[in-house]
């Protein structure tokens, strides 16, 4: 039996000889575009690259409007503010997500209401959403986590029944489709991140998309110190529909703008995204099929209504009992050593996450004793999130999905090797 790499044996993949595909991806097109921006002197503020990217991203997602901004955190905040959500309002979100999804709700003085997720997709459990609705609920933020899709049919049904806004957090789902509609274009607003690890990246950055003109106007003002949309850029996006803010009809806001350098990189990256997603999806589907034959590891459930996958991390479920009692932490360490790439856990559930600690900021968040109690994350019970994070998750960056089928065979062989040697760990 081959010795495990974590115990000093040879790894299944020697990444010095055979490295994983690199991320981020760029070539001379980005170099040329960045130089163009540099030499133009237009480095920010509704420049030609920004407008081009907004137009292309709207077309890509099928939404009427796309607005780029500084990152995928401020886009969530802008989305909440555009929907008029604030003090006294509750917003329902999954307990398993990056802290920004909840932190932005706090930052608009609303109450984040954490609910549990589905064990087989790690996305918000719609039955828990219904249970969490109160007269104060104003919005749901489904997160399409690691490339899984939240059940958007159910979410839209619930939202319609209770008259709620739906803000899709698509930081992990650029290009995924549900029943032929792109992620982010199903709810009222879609929010995207272009941080370095994401499917489409400029190092940092984000976008909001919407097909609602009133929301578009507010979103555009919110990212730009509250200025009304400029008629030229607005009319390009709007193609003549709606009424622009009158001069003087400003919003209170700050500067959440993207730079022209980021937009230049995004214009080029977006051209590559469909082909990259296709490779990731083919490999993700193939690797999931390989996992079926290894005991104790289970691919995420993919819904038939997902007409395009857009895998982000390759995430899968782990069952310690079937792995001869090997704790998941040891499984991940052993697999990391075989693959030469980090195999991580899911996000920490937000009721236990060291980066989601509202009570560390009383000067901002202690609006009243009642609110202070309501924003305590520890008041929520999230047993499924706990089980996923502490006992059963493995996540690998999407760059492993950008290689060949033979690479996927190696990933499966590595998992099999850890399984065969589990009793030695």
Ligand X SMILES: Cc1ncc(COP(=O)(O)O)c(C=O)c1O
Binding site for ligand X (CB under 6 A): 71-73, 97-98, 100-101, 143, 169, 171-172, 193, 195, 206
CB of 10 to ligand X, least distance (A): 34
Nearest residue (beta carbon) to ligand X = 72
CB of 71 to ligand X, least distance (A): 4
CB of 270 to ligand X, least distance (A): 16
Distance between CA atoms of 159 and 162, rounded to whole angstroms? 5
Distance between CA atoms of 332 and 41, rounded to whole angstroms? 48
CB of 146 to ligand X, least distance (A): 9
Distance between CA atoms of 144 and 339, rounded to whole angstroms? 26
Nearer to ligand X, 125 or 169 (CB): 169
Pairing mode, strands 65-69 and 111-115: unpaired
Nearer to ligand X, 129 or 294 (CB): 129
CB of 74 to ligand X, least distance (A): 7
Residues listed for the chain: 425
Nearer to ligand X, 122 or 323 (CB): 122
Distance between CA atoms of 7 and 148, rounded to whole angstroms? 34
Nearer to ligand X, 94 or 403 (CB): 94
CB of 201 to ligand X, least distance (A): 9
Distance between CA atoms of 359 and 103, rounded to whole angstroms? 12
CB of 31 to ligand X, least distance (A): 24
Rg of the chain on CA atoms, in Å: 22
Q: DSSP states of 174-230 as a string?
A: TT-EETTEETTSSSSEEEEE--TTSSS-SSS-EEEEES-HHHHHHHHHHTBTTPPPP
Nearer to ligand X, 122 or 380 (CB): 122
Nearer to ligand X, 208 or 328 (CB): 208
Nearer to ligand X, 191 or 224 (CB): 191
Nearer to ligand X, 258 or 291 (CB): 258
Q: DSSP states of 114-162 as a string?
A: EE-B-TTT-SB-HHHHHHH--TTEEEE--B-GGG----HHHHHHHHHHH
Which residues partner with 44 through β-bridges? 259
Residue 81 parent element (H or E): helix 74-82
CB of 354 to ligand X, least distance (A): 16
Nearest by Cα to 402 from 269, 313, 308: 313
Nearest by Cα to 95 from 392, 387, 394, 385: 385
């Amino acid at each position: 039996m081959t010795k495990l790499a974590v115990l000093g044996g040879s790894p299944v993949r020697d990444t010095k000889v055979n490295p994983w595909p690199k991320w981020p991806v760029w070539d001379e097109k980005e170099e040329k575009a960045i130089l163009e921006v540099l030499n133009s002197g237009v480095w920010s503020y509704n420049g030609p690259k920004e407008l081009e990217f907004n137009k292309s991203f709207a077309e890509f997602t099928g939404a009427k409007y796309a607005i780029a901004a500084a990152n995928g955190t401020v886009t969530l905040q802008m989305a909440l503010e555009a929907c008029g959500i604030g003090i006294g309002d509750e917003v329902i979100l999954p307990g398993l997500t990056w802290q920004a999804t909840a932190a932005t709700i706090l930052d608009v003085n609303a109450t984040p209401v954490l609910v549990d997720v589905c064990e087989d997709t790690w996305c918000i459990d719609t039955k828990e959403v219904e249970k969490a609705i109160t007269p104060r609920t104003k919005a749901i933020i489904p997160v399409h986590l690691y490339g899984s899709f939240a059940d958007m049919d159910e979410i839209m049904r619930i939202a319609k029944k209770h008259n709620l806004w739906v803000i899709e957090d698509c930081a992990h789902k650029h290009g995924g489709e549900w029943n032929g509609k792109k992620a982010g274009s199903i709810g009222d607003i879609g929010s995207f991140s272009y941080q370095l690890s994401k499917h489409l990246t400029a190092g940092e950055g984000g976008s909001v998309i919407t097909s609602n003109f009133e929301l578009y106007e507010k979103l555009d003002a919110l990212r730009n110190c509250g200025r009304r949309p400029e008629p030229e850029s607005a009319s390009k996006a709007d193609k003549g529909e709606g009424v622009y803010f009158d001069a003087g009809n400003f919003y209170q806001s700050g500067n959440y703008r993207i730079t022209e350098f980021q937009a230049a990189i995004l214009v080029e990256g977006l051209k590559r995204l469909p082909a990259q997603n296709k490779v990731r999806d083919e490999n993700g589907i193939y690797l999931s099929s390989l996992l079926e034959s290894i005991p104790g590891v289970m691919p995420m459930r993919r819904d038939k209504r997902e007409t395009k996958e857009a895998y982000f991390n390759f995430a899968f479920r782990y069952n310690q009992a079937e792995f001869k009692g090997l704790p998941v932490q040891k499984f991940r360490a052993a697999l990391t050593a075989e693959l030469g790439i980090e195999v991580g856990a899911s996000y920490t559930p937000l009721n236990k996450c060291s980066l989601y600690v509202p009570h560390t900021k009383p000067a901002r968040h202690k609006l009243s004793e009642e609110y202070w109690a309501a924003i305590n994350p520890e008041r929520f019970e999230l047993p499924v999130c706990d089980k996923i994070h502490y006992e059963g998750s493995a996540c690998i960056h999407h760059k492993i999905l950008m290689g060949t089928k033979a690479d996927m065979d190696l990933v499966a062989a590595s998992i099999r090797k850890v399984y065969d040697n589990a009793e030695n760990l």
